[in-house]
Amino acid sequence: MDLGTALGLLLGLGFITIGILSNHGDLRWFLDLDAIVVVLGGTFAATLVNYPLKNISNIFKVLGQAFTQEEIGHQEVIEELVIKAELARKMGITALETDLDKVSDNFLRDGLELAINEKDPLRLRNYLELELSNMDRRHSLGQEIFLYMGAYAPAFGMLGTVLGLIIMMTHFSASESGGAIGVEFDVAKKFAELLGGMGLALITTFYGVLLSNLVFLPLAGKLKRKSEEELMVKDIIVEGIIGIHAKDHPIILRERLMTFVPQSKRKQKD
Amino acid sequence: MDLGTALGLLLGLGFITIGILSNHGDLRWFLDLDAIVVVLGGTFAATLVNYPLKNISNIFKVLGQAFTQEEIGHQEVIEELVIKAELARKMGITALETDLDKVSDNFLRDGLELAINEKDPLRLRNYLELELSNMDRRHSLGQEIFLYMGAYAPAFGMLGTVLGLIIMMTHFSASESGGAIGVEFDVAKKFAELLGGMGLALITTFYGVLLSNLVFLPLAGKLKRKSEEELMVKDIIVEGIIGIHAKDHPIILRERLMTFVPQSKRKQKD
Amino acid sequence: MDLGTALGLLLGLGFITIGILSNHGDLRWFLDLDAIVVVLGGTFAATLVNYPLKNISNIFKVLGQAFTQEEIGHQEVIEELVIKAELARKMGITALETDLDKVSDNFLRDGLELAINEKDPLRLRNYLELELSNMDRRHSLGQEIFLYMGAYAPAFGMLGTVLGLIIMMTHFSASESGGAIGVEFDVAKKFAELLGGMGLALITTFYGVLLSNLVFLPLAGKLKRKSEEELMVKDIIVEGIIGIHAKDHPIILRERLMTFVPQSKRKQKD
Amino acid sequence: MDLGTALGLLLGLGFITIGILSNHGDLRWFLDLDAIVVVLGGTFAATLVNYPLKNISNIFKVLGQAFTQEEIGHQEVIEELVIKAELARKMGITALETDLDKVSDNFLRDGLELAINEKDPLRLRNYLELELSNMDRRHSLGQEIFLYMGAYAPAFGMLGTVLGLIIMMTHFSASESGGAIGVEFDVAKKFAELLGGMGLALITTFYGVLLSNLVFLPLAGKLKRKSEEELMVKDIIVEGIIGIHAKDHPIILRERLMTFVPQSKRKQKD
Amino acid sequence: MDLGTALGLLLGLGFITIGILSNHGDLRWFLDLDAIVVVLGGTFAATLVNYPLKNISNIFKVLGQAFTQEEIGHQEVIEELVIKAELARKMGITALETDLDKVSDNFLRDGLELAINEKDPLRLRNYLELELSNMDRRHSLGQEIFLYMGAYAPAFGMLGTVLGLIIMMTHFSASESGGAIGVEFDVAKKFAELLGGMGLALITTFYGVLLSNLVFLPLAGKLKRKSEEELMVKDIIVEGIIGIHAKDHPIILRERLMTFVPQSKRKQKD
């Protein structure tokens, strides 16, 4: 499990809570159902216009990925590929077919299967890279939805504030110019009403900025990072399969694949 | 029909309505014809300067696409291509000519016709990719207009607010410094007038933000998604036609085309 | 003539005028020479720093293009190219030389002349594409100037407002703390003065936003569209000349060139 | 000398001065050393963090380029290249060596020298393009520094305003709640103080916006234009040297190089 | 050590301090632990959601690079490469193996080792460029984190201000409308309270803007510059190793590598 995502969200809410309490604020003032309806509802509605339903229904599955962690060890993948390369060098590439079921990674298994059947190295590379670019295209869609929500949320937050200000001002104006004015005009009370209305109006801005900067944009960032890491492992696998297919010497293959691993980590290994 | 677009627009208006009513606002305050003239009129005028008339007259046709849904099944297209590939492999590529009229997709039909007549695979690919890139160019124009409108609308909303504030302030200033000042200056009434004017001025900002973030930008996003999906199907068709022309084995062709389909969906099929 | 540009500008001013009058504003309040000096003058000065004089002196010529319309029919260009291709196929490419003077488009004429003299198809293509990319480079400069003006105008509008607020506030502060305070302090008059000053200060913001969003940015957009369309016609011409040079069959050439024309328009022709 | 840069800066300051005076402002109000320290000092400090010292020390040299003008005539360069091409065609490329010292442009001289020594046309092109791309990389660094300063200046302007507002508000609040309150509270005086403080606070915003939009961003733009023009001349030289090396016919070479010159200017020549 | 980074940070804080003191502010007003918790805590929490823990734990190591300076002399690297090239030309490439341990730069040593073992120049180049592009990918991640923090900090600053305003306004409103109103309403005291609350609320905006524009964004810029310089040295090394492998003449090799060095510096050398 990726504790960072959950921890970050909790910490963020915690820091905001500290900020509210230390300013002698009341947490209940910040729980406003109507404000949530305008900001979250508006953001959801705009997303519904922006994306086909099937992409949106995918959102929770994509969201799950931001909270889980599949520790993908570059070194382990490289070792697995080098072992396959040794086998293929000694016994021919068809020898890989027997252990194919034991390969856990789908992409590696499909790729090896193709490498066994395909003669032409160029077509093998084309196929693998097409698969990668299509995977990238599907991944970036998930991130994109959160980026869009991160852009819509503050807009609807601002919309709610403008809406609240219009109502407050029109109310104030209407009650004054229309109603009978008493002898003792209570300035203080009116002013208090005005400020209270402004405070309420600002709550949607608060939600919009918070949702965008603590939830939507960072989640889009996390998904992007996860996708980049997965694609880097897939890049290693593609280079490895090409090398196995070309019957590269396992030592040279490992050296080439190790360029994908940060130099600092390589040191530790040696 | 793409229910998402209509549903999103309705939901968005619904949530805003809830926000207005729950704040004890009156919906009529938010229907201001003059504000609509400034924001929508200004946006339309700027778009008229920005785009040739023929592009703008296309806008409603493009808009229709955001509300309709042509469910394009990747799998069906792939199956159709594989069947054609089998036929071409057994009976020669000219055998495809007989059933050409039954092909519903224009792009596929034209492409197959070309594949039958053209010998050189490179020229076939060039032709198909030129067609695709030109189609992409025409599609992105439609999205672009909505993106521009999404940028102009808040600007004209802000312009209307500034305009309203200038009028209100100049009025206030003129009425005071010019007129005779009575013994009992009615602060409350003046202040109410001021706030009323400000409330009115903010309405154009409200329209600008709403139109941009619920209508124009999300519609541009939906059109972009639709175009991307259509182009992906076209990508499959191009790869398929190239494969048929090269007399690829139908099984290998299907495998290659399946890389365009998300792995999760491929699983369900098996 | 491109009526859209002029019509859009007039409509935009019309809608703003309606907005002013319906808010009981006075059009004269919005004609402020000093505000124009700050916004337009500042924008012009920044552009003068930004661009060499010779680019700026070109601005009115470029501006003219946004108001004129050279209806370039894709179909006519294609037909002309197909006729040339037929001639070149039957009589040899040198036969094109006789009618060269009748070709109205400079680019087509120069291209055909080169096609007659140049043997190597690759060098012919290189030359034509170099010409195109240089033309594109020159075009985009004209659009860029308007984009920059569209960015500077609101900045100088805001600058004018800040400047006006500083003056108003310092005046107010100086007159109060420095002068003798009478027995009856006239709050209303002071407040009216304050609001009047603020209203004046906002006028530059009004100009900046209006100039940017109704004039500069849309003009840049229109120039971009015109340039794109011209380049697409040039693309057709390049493909056509290459085809003529390669002695492609006129029917195949027309088919390839037609991919540049939207499918809907192609239908109408058939 | 490039008069445009200096003229633009002077004009810009002039227009702002007119704006101040016509609003009955006092120029001395806008000369505030503390504000300059916060905005210009902060921008300088941020630039110091952002760029290595050696890049910043280069800034004045780069700045000089924005004020000087080296009129580079495309036509003259082309003529010089054509003359070299004629010589190389008649007498062999080594004949160029004798007049090499008379070539004023460093890049052209080094390029010709290489063309004489290098046999392989591909390596010659690689060398020249590597030189060009490295020159481009160094140029864009100079522009980039001004772009960054144009982004930091308004931020520090805003920072100064926020800082001023905090001080003013805390002062006001402290003086009131802490001190003894007299019988006759002088509202007008307090309000005047408040507005005076706000006016002072806004001065840093004024500086930030002015520096960014009249100085930093336009200078970055000018440097970019100068660099683009120089690179275009260098592009012509590269194409010319390649042509001389390939012993192209001088007439064909001139024709190819002329594609870099706008069609309008070419006309005048004929 | 890179004094610029530390100097810039200190200078920036110094200029801000001058700005505070010269405005008769008190530095203690600007030290607000709660504000730090909201802005820095919120930024940290958002970064935690945005990036995997292992990337964030790297942050201090990356930060160190912004403060240290490894003066990499282009000329020295080039001389070293030329010496190696001379040796390889005279004695064969395997002669490089003896002195390999004395090469201090890891990348150069690994590259030379590969050049000795690898026959195929294309595979050698592929390997070296793969290594470079992966190094670039890892570098840009470090810069990216700071760019994100530079975007989150002002957002949380604004969030804190909105939060503070909501609390202040609700407090004010609650205390008025709920409590009994005395005969003599103390306007001045209330107003002082209000302004004090606003001042406090603005402190988070102050922190957000300062952290973003003096710390996070400039640090990201510095890291980007350092990475670019390192990659340029690596580019020189790659070109050099390729040249050594191809047994280029040392003089030609030096000439080619010198294109990476600014022309001004080359002059000094001659």
- In this prediction, residue E183 has a pLDDT band, given cuts at 50, 70 and 90, of very low
The whole-angstrom distance between A98's CA and the closest CA on chain E is: 31
Q: What angle do CA B207, B212, B214 make, to 5 degrees?
A: 90
According to the 3-state scheme, what is the secondary structure of C89-119?
HHHCHHHHHCCHHHCCCHHHHHHHHHHHHCC
Please state, in angstroms and rounded to a whole number, the distance separating the CA atoms of residues D96 and A39. 73
Both tokens assigned to B137: 């160019």
Integer-rounded Cα Rg, in Å, for chain A is 29
pLDDT at C174 over 80: no
Residue B141 confidence (pLDDT) above 70: yes
Residues of chain A positioned with their CB less than 8 A from the CB of B9 = 45, 49
- Average of per-residue pLDDT values in chain E: 85
Q: Looking at chain E from residue 33 to 62, which residues have their Cβ under 8 Å from any Cβ of chain A?
A: 34-35, 37-38, 41-42, 44-53, 55-56
- Using an 8 Å Cβ cutoff, are D88 and D247 in contact? yes
**Any residues with CB less than 8 A from the CB of B244 and at least 6 apart, and which?**
B81, B84, B85, B88, B93, B96, B112, B115, B253
Give the contacts of B222 (CB within 8 A, at least 6 positions apart). A49, A50, A51, A52, B2, B4, B5, B66
**Does C179 have pLDDT greater than 90?**
no
Q: What is the pLDDT of residues A215-255, one digit of tens each?
A: 999 999 999 988 888 888 898 999 899 999 988 889 888 88
Distance of CA A105 to CAs A70, A132, A136, A233, D138, Å? 12, 14, 17, 11, 45
Whether A174 contacts chain B with CB within 8 A: yes
User: Nearest residue on chain B to A150, judged by CA atoms?
Assistant: B213
| Pair of tokens at residue A137 | 């295209």
* Residues B42, B149: Cα–Cα separation, whole Å: 10
Residue D187: list chain E partners with CB under 8 A.
187-188
Q: What is the pLDDT of residue A181?
A: 45
| A31-40, C136-145, C182-191: which is most confident | A31-40
**B237 in contact with C at a CB cutoff of 8 Å?**
no
Does the structure show a pLDDT above 70 at C265? no
The size of the B-C interface in CB pairs under 8 A is 177
* pLDDT for position C155: 96
State yes or no: pLDDT of E130 exceeds 70: yes
List Cβ neighbours of E77 (8 Å cut-off, separation of 6 or more): E105, E108, E233, E236, E237, E240
Chains E and C touch (3+ CB pairs under 8 A): no
Lowest mean pLDDT among A155-164, B37-46, B145-154, D95-104: D95-104
Of the candidate ranges B68-72, D131-135, E205-209, the one whose mean pLDDT is the lowest: B68-72
What's the whole-number mean pLDDT along residues B213-237? Answer: 91
Q: What's the confidence (pLDDT) of residue E182? A: 46
Q: Which residues of D touch C49 (CB under 8 A)?
A: 4-5, 8-9, 12, 66, 214-215, 218-219, 221-222
What angle in degrees, to the nearest 10, is found between the helix axes of D42-50 and E217-245? 30
Q: Does E125 touch chain A (CB under 8 A)?
A: no
Q: Which residues in chain C touch residue D198, judged by CB atoms under 8 angstroms apart?
A: 165, 169
Q: CA C37, CA A149: separation in Å to the nearest integer? A: 41
pLDDT at residue E69, rounded to an integer: 73
Please give the single-letter amino acid code of residue D133. Answer: S
The CB-based long-range contact list for C16-22 (8 Å cut-off, 24+ gap) reads C16/B38, C16/B42, C16/B159, C16/B163, C16/C210, C18/B34, C18/B37, C18/B38, C18/B41, C19/B34, C19/B35, C19/B37, C19/B38, C19/B160, C19/B163, C19/B204, C20/B163, C20/B167, C22/B34, C22/B37
Compute the distance between CA of residue D107 and CA of residue A151 in angstroms, rounded to an integer.
48
Contact yes or no for A200 and B259 at CB 8 A: no
Q: What is the pLDDT of residue A157?
A: 96
Q: How many angstroms separate the CA of residue C203 from the nearest CA in chain B?
A: 7
pLDDT digits (tens, 9 = 90+) for D160-214: 999 999 988 888 777 655 444 444 456 667 777 788 788 888 999 999 999 999 9
Tally Cβ neighbours within 10 Å of residue C133: 12
Q: Would you call E49 and A219 a contact, using CB atoms and an 8 Å cutoff? A: yes
Tens-digit pLDDT profile for residues B154-166: 999 999 999 999 9
Return d(Cα C40, Cα C60) in angstroms, integer. 16
d(CA B128, CA C259): 9
Looking at this protein, which amino acid is placed at residue D191? F
D12-38 CB burial, b ≥16 within 10 A, e <16: beebbeebbeebebeeebbebebbbbb
Given a cut of 70, is residue B129 above it in pLDDT? yes
Q: Is D2 on the interface with C (CB under 8 A)?
A: yes
The chain A residue lying nearest B190, using CA atoms, is A177
Q: A55-92: buried (b, 16+ CB within 10 Å) or exposed (e) per residue?
A: bbebeeebeebbeeeeeeebeebbebbbebbebbbeee
* Residues in chain D where the model's pLDDT stays below 70: 1, 71-72, 175-188, 262-270
Nearest to E19 among D37, D52, D176 (CB): D37
CB contact at 8 A, C127 and C241: no
Considering the entire predicted model, what is its pTM? 0.88
Q: For residue D164, which residues of chain C lie inside 8 Å, CB to CB?
A: none
What's the rounded mean pLDDT across residues B87-98?
A: 86
Interface present between E and B (3 or more CB pairs within 8 Å): no
Ramachandran region, residue D247 (left: φ > 0; alpha: ψ -120 to 50; beta: rest): left
What pLDDT is stored for residue E7 in this prediction?
Answer: 92
Are A169 and B199 in contact by the 8 Å Cβ rule? The answer is: yes
- The residues, any chain, with a CB within 8 Å of residue D64's CB and separated by 6 or more, are none
At B65, the pLDDT band (50, 70, 90 cuts) reads confident
Give the Cα-Cα-Cα angle A19, A24, A29 (nearest 5 degrees): 80
Which tens digit of pLDDT belongs to each residue from E12-27? 999 999 999 988 888 8
Q: What is the pLDDT of residue A263?
A: 62
In chain D, residues with a C-beta closer than 8 Å to the C-beta of C174 are: 196
**Chain centroid offset of residue A124 CA:** 31
Q: What is the pLDDT of residue B99?
A: 81
Looking at every residue in chain C, the average pLDDT score rounds to 85
CB contact under 8 A, E213 and D166: no
A195 touches chain E (CB under 8 A): yes
Q: Which of B172-186, B218-232, D146-160, E159-173 has the highest mean pLDDT?
A: D146-160
Determine whether the interchain pair E163/A23 forms a contact, defined as Cβ–Cβ distance below 8 Å.
yes
pLDDT tens, position by position, E84-105: 999 888 888 888 888 888 887 8
Angle of helix A217-245 versus helix A250-258 axis, rounded to 10: 160
Chain C residue at shortest CA distance from D195: C169
Nearest CB neighbour to B34, from listed C11, C18, C189: C18
| Contact yes or no for D222 and C131 at CB 8 A | no
A20 touches chain E (CB under 8 A): yes
| Closest among E159, E148, E165, E151 to E205, alpha carbons compared | E159
Chain D partners within 8 Å of C162 (Cβ): 202, 205-206, 209
**What mean pLDDT do residues C264-268 have?**
56
Segment holding C62, helix H or strand E: helix C59-67
Whether B and C touch (3+ CB pairs < 8 Å), yes or no: yes
Partners of residue D24 in chain C, C-beta under 8 Å: 167, 171
Q: Say if A108 is an interface residue toward chain B (CB within 8 Å).
A: no
Please give the pLDDT value at position B1.
61
- Residue C270 — pLDDT band, cuts 50, 70, 90? very low
Asked whether D147 and D215 are in contact (CB, 8 A), the reply is no
The alpha carbon of residue D4 is apart from the nearest alpha carbon of chain E, in Å, by 27
Chain E segment 241-260 residues within 8 A of D by beta carbon are 255-256, 259-260
Are residues D27 and D17 in contact, defined by beta-carbon separation less than 8 angstroms?
yes
All residues of chain E having their beta carbon less than 8 Å from the beta carbon of residue D34 are 18-19, 22-23
Kindly tell me whether chain E and chain A come into contact, counting contact as 3+ Cβ pairs under 8 Å.
Answer: yes
Model pLDDT for residues A178-201, shown as the tens digit of each residue: 444 444 456 667 777 788 788 888
Nearest CA in chain E to D48: E8
Chains D and C touch (3+ CB pairs under 8 A): yes
The sign one gets for the Cα dihedral D79, D83, D86, D88 is negative
Closest CA to E66 of E226, E205, E244: E226
Q: Report the SS3 class of residue A102.
A: helix
pLDDT (tens digit per residue) in C55-106? 888 888 888 888 887 766 788 889 989 999 998 888 888 888 888 888 878 8
Q: Angle D178-D183-D184 (CA atoms, 0-180°, nearest 5)?
A: 105
* pLDDT value at residue C213: 96
Contact A189/E at CB under 8 A? yes
A173 or C124, greater pLDDT: C124
For chains C and A, tell me whether 3 or more CB atom pairs sit within 8 A of each other: no
How far does B152 lie from chain C, in Å, by closest CA?
6
- For the record, the structure tokens of B246 come out as 């090269």
Q: Which residues of D touch E192 (CB under 8 A)?
A: 172-173, 175-177
**Beta carbons of E167 and A206 less than 8 Å apart:** no
Residue of E1, E7, E13, E15 to mutate when probing chain D, most D C-beta within 10 A: E15
